[in-house]
């Protein structure tokens, strides 16, 4: 009984905290959504690759390259194509061209990973790590070379403003605001997640992908080209990761900083595991991880009243910087044993020699 009584104030604080989060949700949800976008794209890349049996640790590096290429291409394309912001999303010809190049760069980087892990049959985790180290080194080198001339950026994509009639709807208006008051990449994320979920579980390609990820030998015997399908999926995954990278340098901010992905590719991998290798689940987990960003910002700006507020504001600000990583570790460790990866995940496929 005594223990129960000691527990009471703590339980009260927990309820107070939940109430606080519910109260700030309408205002912070758009921030959480923007924080979730790159993580969700990384997680989708992971789902795309691993469902067909290729582990991709190099998502982080792929994103970094795409972020750099998008920003740099904008600089070089702006004088050629013009950088006047258009009516939709503030998209200038230069920005659109830069986005396409960023996606292309993501595909090319993932092609390197595909070659090393599918054809060379190197350890896929080593291969991915090398992509990450290479991306960090090469973008760092080119970035220091480029920023010597202090170039002018081509700007960034702007958020769409949905009609007030939609966002002013009581109780659910903030949900529309969260979804639609965003830039083009975040809005396209919703479309991609839903399309990907349907394709993976309802289409011929999805069935083949899952078959190759679970039992490539069986898939090969019914005439599926395992190698080609894996190559294709890893490259599409690279394009998805590139969306996440381009978001960082072209929508979230208008600049590139060395190492700006800051572990989001890895948080995306954790989201993929927590979301059990499904697009919708991965998206949900990405939102969960990103919500820590929104909550920390809210606490710094408008802390809750009373004892709870005193506790939260007495924490060092760096605690909130570390929060997304901390939450990722804790949830990952709690979920991981119960979340089963595709059976052939990470195993290189070797065709049986014809006898």
Partner 1 sequence: MRARLIRTWGVLALPLIAIALSVLVGSLVILASEWLVAGELKPGLAIDAYAALVDGSVGSERAIINTLTASVPLLLGGLAVGLAFKGGLFNIGVQGQFMMGALGAVAVGVQLRESPAVVAIPVSLLAGMACGAAWGFIPGFLKAVAGAHEVVTTIMLNFIALAVLAAAVNGPLTVQGSVSPITPDVGNASLLILFGRNGHIGIIYAPIMAILYGFLLFRTTRGFEIRIAGSSPDAARYAGMSPRRLIIWTMSVSGMLGGMAGATDLLGVSHQMASSYGTTVGFDAIAIALLGRTNPIGIVFAALLFGALRTGSASMQIQAGVPADLVGVLQATILFFLVASPVLKRLFRLKSVESGIEETSTFTSTYGGEASIR
Task: Catalog residues that contact partner 1 under the rule CB under 8 A.
Answer: 50, 55, 57, 112, 116, 120-127, 129-130, 133-134, 136-138, 140-146, 148-149, 262-263, 266-267, 269-270, 273, 316-319, 321-322, 325-326, 328-329, 332-334, 336-337, 339, 341, 345-347
Measured from the CB atom, is 92 or 296 closer to partner 1? 296
Measured from the CB atom, is 117 or 186 closer to partner 1? 117
The burial class, CB within 10 Å (0-12 / 13-18 / 19+), for 277 is buried
What is the smallest separation between the CB atom of 16 and partner 1, expressed in angstroms? 25
Q: 345, 53 in Cβ contact below 8 A? A: yes
Distance between CA atoms of 292 and 221, rounded to whole angstroms?
A: 47
What is the smallest separation between the CB atom of 142 and partner 1, expressed in angstroms? 6
Q: 128, 56 in Cβ contact below 8 A? A: yes
Q: Region of 155 please: left (phi>0), alpha (psi -120 to 50) or beta.
A: left
DSSP string, 80-141: HH-----TTTT--HHHHHHHHHHHHHHHHHHHHHHIIIIIS---HHHHHHHHHHHHHHHHHH
What is the smallest separation between the CB atom of 276 and partner 1, expressed in angstroms? 11
What is the smallest separation between the CB atom of 296 and partner 1, expressed in angstroms? 12
Measured from the CB atom, is 90 or 281 closer to partner 1? 281
What is the smallest separation between the CB atom of 299 and partner 1, expressed in angstroms? 15
Measured from the CB atom, is 144 or 313 closer to partner 1? 144
Measured from the CB atom, is 145 or 165 closer to partner 1? 145
């Amino acid at each position: 009984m005594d223990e129960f009584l000691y527990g009471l104030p703590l339980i009260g604080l927990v309820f107070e905290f939940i109430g606080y989060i519910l109260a700030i949700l309408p205002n912070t949800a758009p921030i959480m959504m923007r924080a979730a976008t790159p993580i969700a794209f990384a997680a989708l890349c992971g789902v795309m690759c691993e469902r067909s049996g290729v582990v991709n640790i190099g998502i982080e590096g792929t994103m970094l390259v795409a972020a750099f290429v998008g920003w740099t291409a904008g600089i070089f394309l702006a004088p050629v194509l013009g950088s006047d912001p258009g009516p939709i999303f503030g998209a200038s010809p230069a920005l659109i061209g830069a986005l396409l190049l960023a996606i292309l760069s993501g595909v090319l980087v993932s092609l390197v990973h595909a070659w090393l892990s599918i054809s060379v049959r190197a350890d896929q985790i080593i291969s991915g790590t090398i992509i990450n180290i290479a991306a960090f080194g090469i973008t760092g080198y080119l970035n220091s070379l480029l920023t010597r001339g202090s170039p002018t950026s081509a700007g960034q994509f702007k958020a769409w403003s949905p009609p007030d009639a939609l966002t002013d709807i009581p109780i659910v208006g903030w949900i529309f605001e969260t979804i639609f008051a965003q830039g083009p990449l975040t809005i396209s994320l919703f479309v991609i997640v839903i399309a990907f979920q349907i394709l993976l579980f309802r289409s011929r390609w999805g069935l083949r992908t899952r078959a190759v990820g679970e039992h490539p030998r069986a898939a090969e015997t019914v005439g599926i080209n395992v190698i080609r399908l894996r190559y294709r999926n890893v490259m599409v995954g690279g394009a998805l990761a590139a969306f996440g990278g381009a978001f960082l340098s072209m929508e979230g901010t208008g600049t590139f900083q060395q190492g700006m992905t800051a572990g989001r590719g890895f948080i995306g991998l954790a989201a993929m595991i927590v979301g059990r290798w499904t697009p919708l689940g991965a998206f949900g987990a990405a939102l969960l991880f990103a919500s820590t960003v929104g909550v920390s910002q809210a606490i710094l700006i408008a802390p809750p009243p009373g004892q709870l507020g005193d506790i939260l504001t007495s924490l060092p600000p760096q605690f909130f910087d570390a929060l997304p990583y901390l939450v990722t570790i804790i949830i990952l460790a709690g979920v991981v044993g119960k979340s089963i990866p595709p059976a052939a995940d990470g195993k290189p496929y070797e065709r049986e020699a014809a006898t």
